[in-house]
Structure 1
């Protein structure tokens, strides 16, 4: 394996993110005081390249939705200055009638944009929620905006919990021309047998849909550490259900920086992949992300 692709990272300016600039607001990943600061491209690039990462995909950082085009303009400038990131996933208010026009404006800013994320995850615990209800993916306006992705050639970053995966499987089946990227491997939020079983059942439903790929990211979200047994479980389950050609790795930096540096995180995922063939490792660490995000096709 010659290089690594980080399929999920963030950079940010504190002033653009209300949840970093104002009072501490409860977040799904817990207290985040250590990352309440600028985390810009030069710092990320230095950390990433030191670990053998040669390409990256920026995932939106929840700028105010009315500034979603501004976010893309800023990233165009970042890329012009540094060459990073190599692809971008933006956001838009997909529950608003004008979202398709917003996405077309984003596409006109730069060809780096590959897709959109609007988090749909809902949980019984309020601090784990983003969406206002568990079934927001069934909203008619939302679905009309998702239908616009096919014409743009964009993907959708799907972020849901296990309890939402039955609805999610039906949702992605309704849009077979669009690729859906399951964020954080479906966000396993506990190790109780019943919790793991529900997560595996949900993943199996999603794996039946050929237009779903899974991202091996964010496994520190609920445990707040690099947990090798958890990473091993997630790796083994996802590769069994999806196959390596539909799995990809990402750092989720700097969120994971709350509890770890990048080298131990990369090392943990490399250990988890050791039992697999070099071909499978190449898929997870590079080839799948390059294919899904069309890396190397924009400048």
Structure 2
């Protein structure tokens, strides 16, 4: 089964979604399951994991409502305030929903590069495992030092790094990023999503080979059993069609065994998210 481990839905709101600036007109609109379902079918994708794009409890409720209505949405990564004093009570309530698989915070937007190591945040993270939830790590390369220390604190938690931590595809500079990723990958509980590539590259002029040195690094350090394909639809539409995004990964992993390819294209997501 092919699973898209990372995509989004939203009803566009110009105030809430102010991050969608004038250069992003193509995604200034509504993106719902009825828009994605035929795209997945056309690309041989059987299901997806819907990931939060807004940091609110309303966002989590919105995604869970969609997941209840559309069977192809196999899981949801929502948001809750992990620093809240009553976080355990909130998680207990969420644990009653079978399609809620984990949580994410937009750490890349936090001014403190050590946000992940904050005491209140870590108390919330510590509670996730008690309810069977995973955590998606969304960071920039400058936050990878803290990320490495963070994952070491929780060796029994399921973590996945979104978008290969957004390295600098435009310049091709990878040494510092690669060193951090190799260090983080030493923790066997950490996975990595092959997602968000084209939007971190030159939108108009990227080529598949631009990503290969970076993909070589994560394949080498995480291995084929801890990597997941994700489209980052509809954000990917800024730079590529869904089919092009998928082809970057399928073309790259073609050198692997059939079972390893199947794991990256769905099996690992099923295992990690308990789909």
TM range (shorter): over 0.9
SS at match of 1:176: coil
Are 1:171 and 2:142 matched, yes or no? no
C-alpha separation in 2, matches of 1:145 and 1:200: 29
**1:214 aligns with one of 189, 192, 197:** 192
Q: Could you list the per-position Cα deviations for residues 38-93 of structure 1 after superposition, in whole angstroms to 9, with x for gaps in the alignment?
A: 10001101111110000110110114x2xx1x333333332232213110000122
Shift of 1:26: 6.5
Q: Tell me, yes or no, if the aligned pair for 1:163 and 1:198 is still in contact at 8 Å.
A: no
- Which residue in the other structure is 2:231 paired with? 251
After TM superposition, give the deviation of residue 192 of structure 1 in Å: 4.2
Distance apart, 1:268 and its partner CA: 2.0
Note the 1:84-163 alignment, pairs <5 A: 84-108=72-96, 110-121=97-108, 130-163=109-142
2:49 and 2:75 in contact (8 A); partners too: yes
Taking the aligned partners of 1:280 and 1:253, their CA distance within structure 2 comes to: 24
Q: CA–CA distance in 1 between the matches of 2:15 and 2:186? A: 38
Q: Secondary structure at the match of 2:107?
A: coil
* CA distance in 2: counterparts of 1:196 and 1:190, whole angstroms: 8
Is residue 62 of structure 2 the alignment partner of residue 74 of structure 1? yes
**2:216 and 2:12 mapped to 1: Cα distance?**
37
Aligned partner of 2:38 in structure 1 is 46
Give the conservation status (yes or no) of the 8 Å contact 2:83–2:123. Answer: no
Deviation sequence 1:83-126 (CA, Å, 0-9, x none): 13110000122233233333333223x211111000222xxxxx
Distance in 1 of aligned mates of 2:70 and 2:121: 35
User: Pick from 6, 25, 49: which aligns with 1:33?
Assistant: 25
Could you say if the C-alpha distance between residues 74 and 161 of structure 1 is closer, same or farther in structure 2, counting changes exceeding 3 Å? closer
User: What is the alpha-carbon distance in structure 2 between the residues aligned to residue 213 and residue 18 of structure 1?
Assistant: 33
Q: Is the 8 A contact 2:63 2:78 kept in 1?
A: no
1:190 Cα deviation after fit:
4.1
Contact kept, 8 Å, 1:117 with 1:156, in 2: the verdict is: yes
* 8 Å CA contact 1:235, 1:273 repeated in 2: no
Determine the structure 2 residue equivalent to 1:124: none
Aligned partners of 2:52 and 2:20: how far apart in 1?
Answer: 19
CA contact (8 A) 1:11 1:58 kept: yes
Distance 1:234 1:163 in 2: 16
Q: Following the alignment from structure 1 to structure 2, what is the Cα–Cα distance between the partners of residues 268 and 242?
A: 18
Match of 2:179 in 1: 201
What residue ranges of structure 1 are gaps of 5+ in the alignment? Answer: 122-129
Report the count of equivalent residues.
273
Identify which range, 217-226 or 274-283, moves more after superposition: 217-226
The alignment partner of 1:221 has SS state of helix
Q: TM-score, normalised by structure 2?
A: 0.92
For 1:149-183, what per-residue CA distance to the aligned partner results, in whole angstroms no more than 9, with x for missing partners? 11011111012222322221121111112111011
1:25 Cα deviation from its structure 2 partner:
4.0
